[in-house]
A and B are shown apart, each in its own frame.
Chain A
Amino acid sequence: MSIDIYIQGKGIIAANGCEASLFEPNGLQKLNCVEPNYGDFFDNRTLRRMSRIIKLGATSAFMALKDANITQPDAIIVGTGFGCLEDTSMFLTKMINNKEELLNPTPFIFSTHNSISGILGILLQSNGYNNTFSHRNFAFESSLLDALILLYEEEIKVALVGAVDELTHDSFEILNKLGYYKGKTAGEGASFFILSSKKEEHSIAKLKAVKFYSNYSIDEMKINTTNFLIENGINKVDNLIISSNKENIELADAAMIETLKMQDKTIFFKHFCGEFPSSSGFAFGVACSVIKKERLKNILIYNQYDDGNNHSFILLSAC
């Protein structure tokens, strides 16, 4: 793992528009994406065949490609925590209302989690590596890890990697009732990035490491954190991004701030994009903006779910 991996471009669609910016959208119960003009990216015929989550994902991916000046990535890797919820709901609803008769195949076809990476494969005419991860709050981290390993293996030169989740009427009703948004605002978003092992003039930062730890206690994470920093030759983290709201810091996040002594240098990002499983993609976008603008040496993103049972680190460092 001696080669360096660089982030070459990004494409974000979030509640703040197409920037992973830290402007606070206030007082809303739901944070929906401010969607770009899709017509700038795709013709009408293509757009007609796209569901909303596919539009969000594909457009954000095309923004990242444009940002990095790449036309043909060697690998397409997409994360989605919940997948294509609108089409899933639609097919289920019709199935129940129509008593399992006379159903339209379209929502079923586009309900599959890999329809975003599949459409990207077709749009980019790419026969290369194509993968989709759907692992809850680590859907984005999993995709990033896959891309990182492919680049280490030198199987590919350029990876298009990102994540997308959509907020729908039914998903809000159901997740709200399940307590998923407790103390948080519901959200959605898409964030895609270009990674490669060649340093360019426009390279944003280095992606140093992605690691996750499932079924570890908050206590056990203290040792894991120290070891993670040692493994990556880091004495001190310049900035920490965590997944809590500023007003509502979860135990595992508070413990991490304490372990790293980052009380003054922590960025809370959830209230900018809302809660959704692949929101660490948005955090990665924030990290990309901050590391360059504030000339930091490194930034650590710490994400956790299930009350601090599953933990992940993403480490970026300056080029």
Chain B
Amino acid sequence: MRAAGTPARPKSCLADQLLEPAKTILAAAVLALSAAACGASDLASYRVDNDGVATPLTDEPGNPARGRQIVRDMGHVTCLICHRMPIPEEPDHGEIGPSLEGVGSRLTVAQLRLRLIDSKQVNPESVMPSYYRTSGFTRIGAQFEGRPIYSAQQIEDVVAYLALLKDK
């Protein structure tokens, strides 16, 4: 089931809750849920293998130009808050996380996709938000309930952009 588009906001999703322990125990489980089981807001399903998510979340290939726009957009939780990036027209880059210059040389597309979807599956202590997760939060703001930070297509667009950031 591929469910990009505008998510609704279910207060409680039974299938989601049932799968939560499995997610914790088996980080490689198939996580997301069928639209039939859990309403229209569901995340596209994905599979974690070998430190990455190899299969794109959407049928439409990621668009790197759109991805670059997304990571700059202050309306989103922009990468620039915490990371240095090769975006010289933006004056302020954070220094919380590692620089993303050359990240496309260091990580595969599958690895980039997993780190953007849910970096806590790579490092539970990470302070990086999970951009494609809708459960397991404490006191999430009502308007964000059931909505991932990025849509499936935005994940793909940003992954496509990051993959182009090669070492010179």
Q: Do the two shown chains form a genuine complex with each other?
A: no
Using a CB–CB cutoff of 8 Å, the interface residues on chain B facing chain A are none
